Structure 1
Amino acid sequence: MSVQVAARWVVLDIEGTLTATSQVHVVLYDYARPRLGPWIDEHGEDPVVAEAVAQVKAEAGLEAQAGTDAVVAVLHSWMDADRKATPLKTLQGLIWSEGYARGELTTDYFPDVVPALRDWRARGARLAVFSSGSVAAQVASFSNTTSGDLRGLFAGHFDTVNAGPKRERPSYEAIAGQLGAGAGQIAFFSDVPAELDAAAAAGWRTVGVARAGEPFAEADFGAHPVVSGFDEVELEVIA
């Protein structure tokens, strides 16, 4: 059964929506985990890295002089808990960006994703991403995929830094403002009902994505229309 959606902008979650959760929790996490300590030590003079480390210490209650091992222990515990901590996402994003640039990481999407995105873009829809992963990590993930370099498909990238928490209405209002679009012109696709609730509260159109085998496959999506893949979406591009 297809779902009809009318929108000018399509904003997409990544994990569980475009890619399998294992792409992040297994492939990317396993790549970043052993590299966090060396990255901090080798890039300690980088203001972005230094600020992220300071944020980790502040959030974890570590002393300012705490060493790299203590910081990494906190980061690993956050990864184990799948905590969406901004300094963790920042450091992961830097590491992943280098991994994609070196060709050591490749993003694999659900089979229905890339054909749909290319079709929607070709018909005039504008595409953007809202993910808990950093903007740098998002851009890197689209740079080296099993379908080639997809960065050109997207006109906007949002994370918890430049938009806000994914389960809060103001984040979606902020994104709409940055896109220069009316709430009714934006459709949001996500596998997390709470994120869809926040987007709907901001006036966005919403579509739940319940993919077999993913954590939210059997979730209660309430009043949100639900698809199991993008091939079930009939998108009408509006002005």
Structure 2
Amino acid sequence: MSVPVVAEAVVVDIEGTVTPTSQVHVVLYDYARPRLGPWIREHGGDPVVAEAVARVKDEAGLGAQADTGEVVAVLHRWMDADRKATPLKTLQGLIWQDGYARGELTTGLFDDVVPALRSWRDAGLRLAVFSSGSVAAQIASFSHTTAGDLTPLFEAHFDTVNAGPKREADSYRRIGEALGVAAQRVAFCSDVPAELDAARAAGWRAVGVARPGEPCADADFGTHPVVASFDELEVSR
């Protein structure tokens, strides 16, 4: 049974929605984990890295003189807890960006994703991404997929820095304003019910994605319409 949605723009989550959760929690996390320390040491003079490290120390209650080993220990704990901490996402994004550029990383997508994205774009829909992963990481990821470079499909990328937390309605309002699209004309696809609740609170049309085998496959999506794949989602203007 298909789910019809009328919208002008479609904003998609990444993990569990367009890519398997294992793409992030196994492939990307395992790539970043051993590289965090070396990256901080080698790029400590980079203002972006320096600010991220300072924020880690502040959020973790470490002293300003804490060494790289202490900072990395915190980052590893945050990764184990899947904490969406902005400084962690910033550092991971830089490492992943480098990995993609080196050809050491490639993003795998669910089979139904690329055909749906291209179909929606061909129909005149505007596409964007909202993920807790940094914008830099998003662009790197979609630039190096098993289906090639998909960045031309997307008009904009949003993360917790330029939009805000994914479970707060104001974040979705900021995205809508940035896109210049009326709230009721924006559809959001995610596998996390709390994110869908926030999007709906902002006036968006929220659609749950419950993919078999994924962590949120059996989640309680409440009154949100739910699809198991994008093949079941019919978006029209």
| TM-score range relative to shorter protein | over 0.9
5 Å matches for 1:6-25?
6-25=6-25
Residue of structure 2 equivalent to 1:189: 189
Distance in 2, matches of 1:94 and 1:28, equals 12
SS for the counterpart of 2:38 is helix
Letter paired with 1:144: H
How far apart are residue 222 of structure 1 and its match? 1.0
Distance in 1, matches of 2:12 and 2:5, equals 14
Residue of structure 1 equivalent to 2:44: 44
How big is each residue's C-alpha offset from its partner over 1:156-195, in whole Å with a ceiling of 9 and x where there is no partner?
1111111111111111111111111100110000001110
Distance in 2, matches of 1:13 and 1:125, equals 16
How far apart are residue 223 of structure 1 and its match? 1.0
5 Å matches for 1:228-239?
228-237=228-237
Residue of structure 2 equivalent to 1:220: 220
5 Å matches for 1:70-149?
70-149=70-149
Letter paired with 2:92: Q
Letter paired with 1:90: T
Letter paired with 1:231: D
Distance in 2, matches of 1:60 and 1:236, equals 46
Letter paired with 1:83: R
What is the aligned length?
237
Distance in 2, matches of 1:234 and 1:82, equals 32
Q: CA RMSD in A?
A: 0.6
How far apart are residue 218 of structure 1 and its match? 0.6
Q: Percent identity?
A: 76
How far apart are residue 87 of structure 1 and its match? 0.3
How far apart are residue 79 of structure 1 and its match? 0.3
Letter paired with 1:38: P
Residue of structure 2 equivalent to 1:202: 202
How far apart are residue 235 of structure 1 and its match? 1.2
Distance in 1, matches of 2:138 and 2:60, equals 26
SS for the counterpart of 1:129 is strand
Distance in 1, matches of 2:220 and 2:66, equals 44
Residue of structure 1 equivalent to 2:3: 3
Distance in 2, matches of 1:183 and 1:207, equals 14
How far apart are residue 13 of structure 1 and its match? 0.3
Distance in 2, matches of 1:145 and 1:138, equals 11
TM-score, normalised via structure 2 length: 0.99
Letter paired with 1:80: D
Distance in 1, matches of 2:185 and 2:95, equals 35
Letter paired with 1:187: A
Distance in 2, matches of 1:66 and 1:219, equals 40
How big is each residue's C-alpha offset from its partner over 1:186-237, in whole Å with a ceiling of 9 and x where there is no partner?
0000001110011001110111000001111011111111000000111112
Distance in 2, matches of 1:42 and 1:74, equals 19
1:68 has 2:90 as partner: no
How big is each residue's C-alpha offset from its partner over 1:105-135, in whole Å with a ceiling of 9 and x where there is no partner?
0000000000100111111111000000011
